[in-house]
Structure 1
Amino acid sequence: MTISLILIMITVFIVIELLYFKLATYYNIIDQPNIRSSHTDVTIRGGGIIFPLALLAYFIYFGTTSIYFLCGLFLISIVSFADDIKPVNNKLRLIIHLISVGLLFYELHLFSLPWYMMLFAFFFAIGTINAVNFMDGINGITGGYSLITLITLWFINTYMVLFTDPNLILITLLSVAVFTVFNFRKKALCFAGDIGSVSIGFILVYFILALILKTQNLNYILLLLAYGLDVVTTVIFRFIRKENVLEAHRTHFYQYLSNNRGITQLRVSLIYILLQFVVNLVLIFSRIESVGLMITIMTVSGIVFVKLRFEFEGTKRLLG
């Protein structure tokens, strides 16, 4: 992709976002603060619509053989956008998610793999999509975290191993960068909404699974370590407290730091972004390939993270 085309794409994405802001304001697609919110201002919801639209632009301009992946993306984006406007039936949403993940698997030829690898891929896909959605709760975290992950994937794809079309990563990266300009602020102009968090989670699943399949290296799941630590530990603590893990809440560690400790949302977002950035650097330059080493890293990181949570949040809050 040439510099001139990159600049044109950025301009187009900015214009699309600004037009969406007008439409969202007119049709009242906004996020009203409630007891579970980490914000106090009425804000436009669904700014992440730029992510699937960017891939539509990719399809129109470049053409693609990744038709099943894109169909899955648009399906999951449509139901997510509908959910941003008005709550969608949980069963319908689950069915669409399963169909979309199935299309992604078909694109990557995962159905030809042994059942246990299929099972791993399924849990990774569903878990990642939901994790990215759960972690979309404060300004800057979705855009910034996705940006650092996509930059890492672009670097790997460009300088280490070609696992997907470089233009596909780049155009996704540009759309996330444009969204981040409007979201990484003390007072965000828009939130990603379900369409943003779910679609970017779906896209990241596609890239990371493609990379794992190409390299036969499971350690690339560490590209989502920071999010994984927060989501997994939060789910475990909610189980211990006998809470319904499917109900909306704000008991993630990042929410505690922002809502209860008074750390600004942008600083909390930066902590997670920088933590993942360090992990990515280690992953790239140490060329980790041993599954045992990956498990060790995840275990040690998990222990440290849980210890931090106990020190900051206390036993009563975490264990009830």
Structure 2
Amino acid sequence: MFLTFLVSFLISFFTQKFVILLFEKKKLFIDKIENNEPQKFHSIPTSRGGGIGIFLANFLLVLNPLGIKFLISGSLAFLSGLWEDLQRGLSPKIRLLFQILSAVLAVLLIGAVIKDIRIIEFPYPLAVLFTVFAIVGAINAINIIDGFNGLASGISLMILTSFGIVSYLQNDNELLFIILVNIGAILGFMVFNFPKGKIFLGDGGAYFLGFVIAEISILLPYRHEEVSPWFSLAVLVYPVWEVLFSFYRKTKRGLSPLKPDKFHFHMLINKRITKNNPATSIVIWIFAFPFTVLPVLYYNNTIACAFTALLFILIYNVLYISIIKFKVKNQLSLLFK
């Protein structure tokens, strides 16, 4: 298993170096600062091709029957994001369509659906619809939190580590193989992304990681009755709540949920407290860590996992409102100077 991790890391690492060089020579995958998009927090043009190395490292999945299905299903979401990274201008609706197709393909090829959530069991057609919705939601959730150096990749590492530990405890070597491939790929990317931001994950990388995380979160309880489906929600609660809360915020203000804005939690942390790109990621890592990792201790306890998710949502909302109303003291920013 260590060899799997090492090879994945090396593939991602050297691909990132190549993409950065290609960017410098040919100006491909450029994230131009003059676009003035609200989610931009960098001052120099930077490559958005970090997802290429992560995706190429996942070609190791051809060694695993389940992994092949992951690779095929996730490729549609990845390619739509990659096209946006390379050319820009691909409409959000087209990208959403490709994400839905990826999710549908995963249901057809892999077969796992969210049917029994302990408190209710869905009929199969409804389970399929809910599963597709959940996968698409997770894809966008990872993309939404990809706002600062190392933020989305660091959170993804925590999530995959938690899933990896439970996969190991359940003797699920197939899932553990897929998880280790992606942990290695992410670390190979983070060498260049955190803290200096020499390359960004891009939509392609965020979409693909979101897909992988979503599918693993569904497969773990689907394949192992001991694993509560609420464990997956507890581990994913930060990105999931970020996308749900974002949807609520925007629709309440009469805005399109697909349109980016500057009021995400990580953006407010940066503006009001850290005023520093990598420090923002570190603060949110620390905040999310207990909610992402501790559920491993009670992955079979639905009540404890549900309580963890609800506790996160409560604390998140209190902090969000406090920051908006300036109740969080600006003196905290002194810690990050």
| TM-score scaled by length of structure 2 | 0.84
Secondary structure of the residue that 1:251 maps to in structure 2? coil
Q: How do 1:12-161 and structure 2 match up within 5 A?
A: 12-25=11-24, 26-33=26-33, 34-36=36-38, 37-59=40-62, 62-86=63-87, 87-110=89-112, 114-161=124-171
Secondary structure of the residue that 1:261 maps to in structure 2? helix
Q: Which of the numbers 296, 315, 325 marks the counterpart of 1:314?
A: 325
How far did residue 164 of structure 1 move?
A: 3.1
Gaps of 5+ in 2: 116-123, 327-337
Is 2:208 aligned against 1:199? yes
Aligned counterparts of 2:283 and 2:70: Cα–Cα separation in 1: 32
How far did residue 93 of structure 1 move?
A: 2.4
Secondary structure of the residue that 1:242 maps to in structure 2? coil
How far did residue 53 of structure 1 move?
A: 0.8
Tell me the amino acid that sits aligned with residue 32 of structure 2. Q
Aligned counterparts of 1:9 and 1:298: Cα–Cα separation in 2: 32
Contact 2:113 2:222 in 1 (8 A): no
Contact 1:31 1:45 in 2 (8 A): yes
How far did residue 245 of structure 1 move?
A: 1.9
Tell me the amino acid that sits aligned with residue 136 of structure 1. D
Partner in structure 1 of residue 243 of structure 2: 231
Contact 2:140 2:207 in 1 (8 A): yes
Secondary structure of the residue that 2:236 maps to in structure 1? helix
Secondary structure of the residue that 1:230 maps to in structure 2? helix
Aligned counterparts of 2:128 and 2:42: Cα–Cα separation in 1: 39
Is 2:215 aligned against 1:212? no
How far did residue 234 of structure 1 move?
A: 2.7
Partner in structure 2 of residue 300 of structure 1: 311
How far did residue 119 of structure 1 move?
A: 2.9
Secondary structure of the residue that 1:191 maps to in structure 2? coil
Aligned counterparts of 1:17 and 1:77: Cα–Cα separation in 2: 16
Contact 2:298 2:304 in 1 (8 A): no
Cα RMSD, aligned residues only: 2.3
**TM-aligned CA distance change 1:261 to 1:280, over 3 Å:** closer
Kindly, what percent of the aligned residue pairs are identical?
A: 21
Tell me the amino acid that sits aligned with residue 134 of structure 2. F
**TM-aligned CA distance change 1:283 to 1:16, over 3 Å:** same
Aligned counterparts of 1:230 and 1:65: Cα–Cα separation in 2: 30
Contact 2:66 2:110 in 1 (8 A): no
Aligned counterparts of 2:314 and 2:64: Cα–Cα separation in 1: 46
Contact 2:80 2:95 in 1 (8 A): yes
Partner in structure 1 of residue 292 of structure 2: 280
Tell me the amino acid that sits aligned with residue 179 of structure 1. F
After superposition, the C-alpha distances for 1:52-101 in whole angstroms (9 at most, x for unaligned) are 11111332xx2534433321222221121111122224443233222211
Contact 1:234 1:253 in 2 (8 A): no
**TM-aligned CA distance change 1:98 to 1:141, over 3 Å:** same
Moved more, 149-158 or 175-184: 149-158
| TM-score scaled by length of structure 1 | 0.88
How far did residue 142 of structure 1 move?
A: 1.4
**TM-aligned CA distance change 1:111 to 1:279, over 3 Å:** closer
Aligned counterparts of 2:229 and 2:179: Cα–Cα separation in 1: 20
Tell me the amino acid that sits aligned with residue 130 of structure 2. F
Partner in structure 1 of residue 183 of structure 2: 173
Contact 1:38 1:259 in 2 (8 A): no
Aligned counterparts of 2:284 and 2:125: Cα–Cα separation in 1: 34
Contact 1:143 1:176 in 2 (8 A): yes
**TM-aligned CA distance change 1:246 to 1:63, over 3 Å:** closer
